[in-house]
Amino acid sequence: MQTLISADDLSRRLAGRDDIRVLDVRWQLGGPPGLGEYRSGHIPGAVYVDLDTELAGHGGPEDGRHPLPGSADLQAAARRWGLHDGDTVVVYDDLGSQSAARAWWLLRHAGMRDVLLIDGALAAWRSAGLPLAVGDEKPPVAGTVHLSYGALPTIDADTAAAVARTGVLLDARAGARYRGETEPIDPRAGHIPGAVSAPTSDNLTPDGRFRPAEELRERFEALGVSAMRPVGVYCGSGITAAHEAAALAIAGFVPYLYPGSWSQWSNLPDRPVETGDAPSAAE
């Protein structure tokens, strides 16, 4: 399935079709929420989506910082956004798709087939000289979409540990957090034993677009990924892991995503932690 759409292609489609829904998923770790940025300028007709309240559930520390929302909760939110079965959904942010990918992955996981990321995010729309709207949009007519999880593969902590032993488990966080040199948020520093450092920022070109499929495939193969071995991905709390999953999909791989990610693992006292540059042979 296609993962990306260019800003120009989206503009052309919006001019000729009425079944395309555009979602603005501006968010950054630590806030503030992106609603103010949305009101300052967004793609005309786009609906603002709050990542913390609509694309994540809530639980204890042992569940991680951004557990998946219940499928019924996601469906209710998607209907508020005006989504219907069979719609094409386009998601974007202003962060190289690193937060919008959460909506891309969740909606695909919940059964929507045609979900696309704007390659280059909002910066690409601006660079193309396309118009922006300000303020709030008129609320969309309620949608009727039906969502149910299971279309994309996920793993829990036990299976993440197993993938690190039998396949390749990619850590999408910055290298310093992987190595355990710093940990600004979660209770323990380091990484899941056996995981391989694969910062999600390396999936992008300097202008915030995804690298070509061939380059991404070469990158992941150099990290040990192949079609013959399971590949899993995690990050701090499951947000940028979705971005890595998108890059893997562009490269032709089908990854398992660990939604709890490091924020869950580091809150489970019986889970071992590894530090340093290179992964050990996970036990």
The set of catalytic residues is 235
Q: Tell me which amino acid residue 201 is.
A: S
Give the closest residue to 164 by CA, choosing from 6, 281, 8.
Answer: 281
Are the C-beta atoms of 116 and 58 separated by less than 8 Å?
Answer: no
Q: What is the number of other CB atoms lying within 10 angstroms of the CB of residue 129?
A: 9
> String of b and e for 272-283 (b: at least 16 CB within 10 Å)?
eebeeeebeebe
Helices (H), the chain: 7-16, 35-40, 51-54, 71-80, 100-109, 121-127, 157-166, 175-179, 213-222, 240-250, 261-265
The C-alpha atoms of residue 199 and residue 188 are separated, in whole angstroms, by 19
**CA-to-CA separations, 103 to 224, 255, 270, in angstroms, rounded:** 27, 17, 31
Are the C-beta atoms of 37 and 43 separated by less than 8 Å?
Answer: no
Give the closest residue to 264 by CA, choosing from 108, 124, 67.
Answer: 67
Judging by DSSP bridges, how do beta strands 231-234 and 168-171 pair with one another? parallel
